[in-house]
Amino acid sequence: MSGKRWAGRRRISSPLPSPLSPMFIELTDQLRCPAEHAESFLVLIPDVMEGRQVLRGTLGCPVCHAEYRIDDGVADFGGTAPPGRRAGGSASRPDAGGLLAFLALQGPGGVVGLVGEAARHVGGLAELLPGVHFALVNPPDATVAAAASSVLRAARVPFKARSLRGVVLGQPESGEAHWQADAVRAVLPGLRAVGRGPVPVLEGFELLGAADGWWVGRLA
């Protein structure tokens, strides 16, 4: 995988473990508490900001009172990502242009979620979709991100229902039914979820197409 270097990376006081940008404060609106209760928003208490990015802070749930830390710009929702991440390999097809065609998006605004291996495509997608923010969930260590991205670590989809302009579900999360279901539900009505591997079995799911081991669909 040859990721594109993001030439415009700003210096930050607390370095991220890899060249990724700190969490965008407005992404808070798309986040939910991942605990097993009815969907709830989260309240952000920032400790250290840089512009509109949060280097350190806490996301608190008003329902279960869980607190999730943001450290080094990365929001950590606890738990562990599913095992079985594949080292390198076959994430090159489709490329960012192919994923954009699957998502069928154009124009600025909103948030697109990239989960697991799919986060590798953030650089290419950010070039093709300026003005869109990318939320990277469990990105591979070698991911090189665009400015317009935030990094989240989570054991389940941390987005509210109907909050994203699109989502791309990569391995290994794409193989798990709860990731599929929550990712499909996180997309705004009429917009698309894209995933690698098995097609979701989910009430109301409309499969729009499948090719090369990927599926494209939405809630009907």
Question: Rule CB under 5 A: is residue 61 a binding residue for Zn ion?
Answer: yes
Asked if 63 touches Zn ion (CB under 5 A), the answer is yes
Least spacing, CB of residue 182 vs Zn ion, in Å:
15
CB of 45 to Zn ion, least distance (A): 15
Cβ-based nearer residue to Zn ion, 16 or 155: 155
**With contacts defined by CB under 5 A, how many residues of the chain interact with Zn ion?**
6
Q: Is residue 66 involved in binding Zn ion (CB under 5 A)? A: yes
Residue carrying the six token digits 């738990």: 79
By CB under 5 A, residue 33 contacts Zn ion: yes
Instruction: List Cα–Cα distances, 194 to 44, 102, 185, in angstroms.
Output: 29, 7, 12
Closest distance to Zn ion from the beta carbon of 27 (Å): 17
Question: Please, which residues have CB within 8 angstroms of residue 179's CB and are 6 or more apart in sequence?
Answer: 82, 115, 156, 157, 169, 173
Separation CA 13–CA 26 (nearest Å): 21
Residue 32 CB, shortest distance to Zn ion, in Å, is 8
Q: Please, which residue, 48 or 161, has the CB nearer to Zn ion?
A: 161
Find all residues with CB under 8 Å of 2, minimum gap 6, and list them. none
Q: Which residue lies nearer to Zn ion by CB, 36 or 141? A: 36
Closest approach, Cβ 29 to Zn ion, in A, equals: 16
Rounded Cα distance between 82 and 156, Å, is: 9
CB 115 within 8 A of CB 93: no
Q: Residue 67 or 95: which CB sits closer to Zn ion?
A: 67
- Interaction pattern, residues 132-171, with Zn ion; x per rule: CB under 5 A: ----------------------------------------
Quick one: tokens of 86?
A: 């594949």
For residues 84, 85, 86 and 90, what is the CA-based torsion angle, rounded to 10 degrees?
130
Residues that bind Zn ion (CB under 5 A): 33, 35, 61, 63-64, 66
